[in-house]
């Protein structure tokens, strides 16, 4: 089968700039290779992949902010396809069923977090496309219990793929923000996750006010088209204070400005795995009285649970939301990653097999 393989860490070149790390600079971090079709374990399934979303987390892996536990590895954790094979003990699905894959590949199932439905916090958590080969390929194998059934409303796998991470983790960040109807919500960054969160919030909290912060005018225009009440740049002051805010950007700068805009008792959720160190000096601008006092909170999102994915799919289906997607061939994965890093984001980027 064909797969895009990461063999060594590197920094993805954008516009010929000087690398910020000691890693080699390249515009082709992934190599198209012929590799064996994987075999599912006894309780596993073989998935014939139809589409796989491209996530900023892949940039963190490739550039060493998340060191992959093993190399080489096939990235990708937003895969959707059909069951093409079953392990000897797999009974949850049958051949031909449509399922999706999230960042959560597996967990121990026994610790207090797993027993409490928080398998995303399990010490033995394994990430799809990080600890094990993922969805930048024609096939992948995974435990049947961690696959997510795709509702019949999603007839297009390309539109379903972004929901497996951008949708599911975006939904989790919205839950963790404490958002309620009538509150104000600010979204910092307007990439794959937030273009879905905006639509979810507009449907679930119709009496709320939604504010979008993005450096790219095209992203702000998309936000307005999708229902934003106000759009601005990262440094802008909002016309009213934010009860909740979610930041998906890789920089520290938005954290400072989000806390300035946050209402007393408000919560800022950081929905990402790593922040880049390039602008960490912005943290020195944090003033306790201005940014943190009066019971403001900062909370992080860690991965995703199976329940998050199921609930997010149900909400999107009920609301009949449509992800904005840009399609790329499997062999164009490097091009898609470069566009994500350069900020040329319109909705979600999806590899189509």
Tell me what pLDDT residue 24 has. 82
From CA 337, how far away is CA 78, in angstroms rounded?
14
Alpha carbon distances (Å) from 78 to 4, 29, 154, 209: 14, 19, 15, 30
For the chain, the distance separating the N- and C-terminal CA atoms, rounded to the nearest angstrom, is 11
From CA 15, how far away is CA 208, in angstroms rounded?
40
Nearest to 242 by CA among 227, 223, 253, 257: 257
Q: What is the DSSP string of 120-156?
A: GG-TT-EEBTTTB--SSBSEEEEEGGG-EEPPTT---
Tell me what pLDDT residue 136 has. 98
| Spatial CB neighbours of 228, under 8 Å, sequence gap ≥ 6 | 198, 210, 211, 212, 220
From CA 100, how far away is CA 317, in angstroms rounded?
15
**What's the pLDDT tens digit per position in 295-319?**
999 999 999 999 999 999 999 999 9
Is residue 346 very low, low, confident or very high in pLDDT (cuts 50, 70, 90)?
A: confident
Nearest to 47 by CA among 151, 134, 109, 106: 134
Alpha carbon distances (Å) from 71 to 123, 150, 295: 21, 30, 44
3-state DSSP percent of the chain in helix, strand and coil, to 5:
30, 25, 45
The CATH code of domain 168-300 reads 3.40.50.720
**What are the tokens at 246?**
């979610």
**H or E element, residue 306:** helix 306-319
Residues of the chain with CATH 3.90.180.10: 2-161+304-352
Contact 90, 144 (CB under 8 A): yes
Rg over CA atoms, the chain: 20
**What's the pLDDT tens digit per position in 240-296?**
999 999 999 989 999 999 999 999 999 999 999 888 777 888 888 888 888 889 999
The residue assigned the tokens 């690398």 is 19
Contact 226, 249 (CB under 8 A): no
Is residue 190 very low, low, confident or very high in pLDDT (cuts 50, 70, 90)?
A: very high
Nearest to 338 by CA among 58, 145, 119: 58
pLDDT score of 168 more than 90: yes
**What are the tokens at 17?**
């700039």
Q: 83: which strand partners?
A: 47
Longest dimension (CA), the chain: 60
From CA 250, how far away is CA 114, in angstroms rounded?
29
Alpha carbon distances (Å) from 230 to 175, 261, 283, 289: 22, 14, 26, 27
Is residue 330 very low, low, confident or very high in pLDDT (cuts 50, 70, 90)?
A: very high
From CA 74, how far away is CA 88, in angstroms rounded?
25
Share of the chain above pLDDT 90, in %: 81
Class in CATH terms, 2-161+304-352: alpha beta
- The number of C-alpha atoms within 13 Å of 50 and in the hemisphere containing its C-beta is 19
Is residue 343 very low, low, confident or very high in pLDDT (cuts 50, 70, 90)?
A: confident
**What's the pLDDT tens digit per position in 196-245?**
999 999 999 999 999 999 998 989 999 999 999 999 999 999 999 999 99
Q: Taking all residues of the chain, what is their mean pLDDT, rounded to a whole number?
A: 93
| Spatial CB neighbours of 219, under 8 Å, sequence gap ≥ 6 | 190, 191, 212, 345, 346
Residues of the chain with CATH 3.40.50.720: 168-300
pTM of the model: 0.90
């Amino acid at each position: 089968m064909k797969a895009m393989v990461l063999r060594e860490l590197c920094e993805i070149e954008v516009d010929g700039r000087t690398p910020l790390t000691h890693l080699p600079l390249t515009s082709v971090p992934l190599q198209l290779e012929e590799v064996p079709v994987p075999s599912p374990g006894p309780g596993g399934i073989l998935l014939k992949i139809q589409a796989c979303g491209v996530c900023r987390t892949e940039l963190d892996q490739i550039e060493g902010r998340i060191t992959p536990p093993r190399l080489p590895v096939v990235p990708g954790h937003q895969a959707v396809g059909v069951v093409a094979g079953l392990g000897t003990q797999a009974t949850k699905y049958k051949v031909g069923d449509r399922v999706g894959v999230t960042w959560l590949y597996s967990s121990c199932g026994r610790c207090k977090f797993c027993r409490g439905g928080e398998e995303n916090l399990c010490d033995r958590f394994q990430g799809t496309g990080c600890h094990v080969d993922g969805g930048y390929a024609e096939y992948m194998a995974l435990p049947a219990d961690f696959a997510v059934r795709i509702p019949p409303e999603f007839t297009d796998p390309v539109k379903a793929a972004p929901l497996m991470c951008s949708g599911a983790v975006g939904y989790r960040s919205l839950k963790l923000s404490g958002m309620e109807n009538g509150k104000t919500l600010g979204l910092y960054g307007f990439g794959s996750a937030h273009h879905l969160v905006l639509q979810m919030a507009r449907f679930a909290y119709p009496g709320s006010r939604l504010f979008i912060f993005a450096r790219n005018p095209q992203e702000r225009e998309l936000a307005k088209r999708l229902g934003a009440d106000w759009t601005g740049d990262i440094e802008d002051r909002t016309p009213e204070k934010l009860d909740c805010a979610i930041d998906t950007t890789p920089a520290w700068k938005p954290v400072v400005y989000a806390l300035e805009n946050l209402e007393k008792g408000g919560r800022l959720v950081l929905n990402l795995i790593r922040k880049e160190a390039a602008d960490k000096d912005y943290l020195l601008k944090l003033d306790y009285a201005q940014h943190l006092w009066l019971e403001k909170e900062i909370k992080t999102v860690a991965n995703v649970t199976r329940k998050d994915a199921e609930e997010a799919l149900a909400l999107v289906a009920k609301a009949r939301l449509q992800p904005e997607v840009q399609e790329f061939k499997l062999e164009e994965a490097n091009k898609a990653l470069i566009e994500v890093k350069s900020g040329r984001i319109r909705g979600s980027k999806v590899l189509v097999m």
